[in-house]
A and B are shown apart, each in its own frame.
Chain A
Amino acid sequence: MNEAQRVLNIILKMMYYDEFKSSLTQDERDFIQRINLSSFKHFRLSSLHDRSTIFTWVSSMGESVACYANDNGFYFSEIVAYKTSTKRMKDREEEKLSPEKMEIVKGEIVDLKRTFRLYSENPNDMETYFK
């Protein structure tokens, strides 16, 4: 696995922690201990209808944020915000972020990069994975 895949893999295992806790490697256990599990519920990988992958979290600015992710990395430069809704997909609203909200999201991306960088054996190559 490359670094992006290792990060994706650990996110999936964290998403389904109760199912995988008995199969976690020591490296994975160490990683999970290093990051804040209490905030984990805000992170998740989801698949769209075409089975492409998005990484989402609930931003502190109050809306869900999503970016594409794949084996090459996380595309944080193409963030999209979604208003949470109990309605169906057709009613989902995609929103352009105001500059103020974008600043909040940018700060969160910095934190995310810093979090995942902890897991890299080679910090110099991590930017490759966060396009």
Chain B
Amino acid sequence: MNTVQKIVVLMMKINHSDILQNTLSEEEIRLGAKINAYNLHTGRNLKILNDVSGKTLLTWQSDAHYLIACPVDENGFTFSKIGVSTEGFVMDVQVYFNFDTDKLNIISVETEENKSLLKILSPDIEQYFN
């Protein structure tokens, strides 16, 4: 597995407290410490999840009170295509139960308004993902 796949596996294991915990390898534990994964999970609600279309997203809560998501594939995290949601703190169980719509309500970053938002949010991204 490449590093991205290892991070995805690690974050999935962190998301769940009752499955696969005894399968955490030494390497995964070290990787978790290196990227501060547990603190990101509890402090930022950092999660890997997939939307209804099967697209995989990395999501987290920003200091700017928005929910942020960016696409993930095995080649990496596409931070240049992040989306923001004005439903910023709807990160709850319901998100996973609605199979009919894009529950995260990710807004395209193409609008001027959202481009402005990205400028506000960029310090978060710089801090946590560089």
B63 contacts chain A at the CB level, 8 A cutoff:
no
* A20 touching B98 in the complex, CB below 8 Å, given contacts A41-B52, A47-B15, A47-B16: no
Q: Is the CB of B93 within 8 A of A52?
A: no
Tally A-B pairs: CB < 8 A: 110
Q: Mark B1-32, 1 if CB is under 8 A from A, else 0.
A: 11011001000100111111111000000000
B54 contacts A17, CB within 8 Å? yes
A14-35 CB contacts (< 8 Å) to partner B: 15-23
**Shortest Cβ distance from A70 into chain B, in angstroms?**
4
Known A21-B74, A53-B19: A88·B5 in contact at CB below 8 Å? no
Interface of chain A residues 42 through 96 with chain B (CB within 8 A) = 42, 44-53, 56, 58, 64, 66, 69-71, 82, 84-89, 91-92
Cβ-based interface call for A5 (8 A): yes
Within 8 Å by CB of A92, from B4, B15, B22, B94, lies B94
> When A19-B4, A70-B18 are in contact, do A1 and B92 touch as well, CB less than 8 Å?
no
Knowing A23-B5, A53-B19, A86-B98, the reply to whether A46 touches B93 (Cβ < 8 A) is yes
Contacting pair B17 A51 (CB below 8 A): yes
A21-B74, A23-B5 known; A8 vs B20 contact (CB < 8 Å): yes
Count chain B residues whose beta carbon lies closer than 8 angstroms to a beta carbon of A. Answer: 36
Interface: B79 (CB within 8 A) = no
Contact at B101–A48, with CB atoms within 8 Å?
no
- Name which of B5, B21, B52, B97 has the most chain A CB atoms within 10 A of its CB: B97
Most chain B CB within 10 A, of A1, A12, A52, A66, is at A12
Dominant SS among interface residues on chain A: mixed
Besides A16-B12, A84-B100, 19 more A-B contacts (Cβ < 8 Å) are A1-B20, A5-B19, A8-B20, A15-B50, A16-B48, A18-B73, A19-B4, A19-B73, A23-B74, A45-B16, A47-B17, A49-B92, A50-B17, A53-B18, A71-B20, A71-B21, A86-B98, A86-B100, A89-B93
Residues of chain A touching chain B, judged by Cβ–Cβ distance below 8 Å, are: 1, 5, 8-9, 12, 15-23, 41-42, 44-53, 56, 58, 64, 66, 69-71, 82, 84-89, 91-92
- Which B residues form the contact surface with A (CB < 8 A)? 1-2, 4-5, 8, 12, 15-23, 47-50, 52, 54, 56, 72-74, 90, 92-94, 96-101, 103
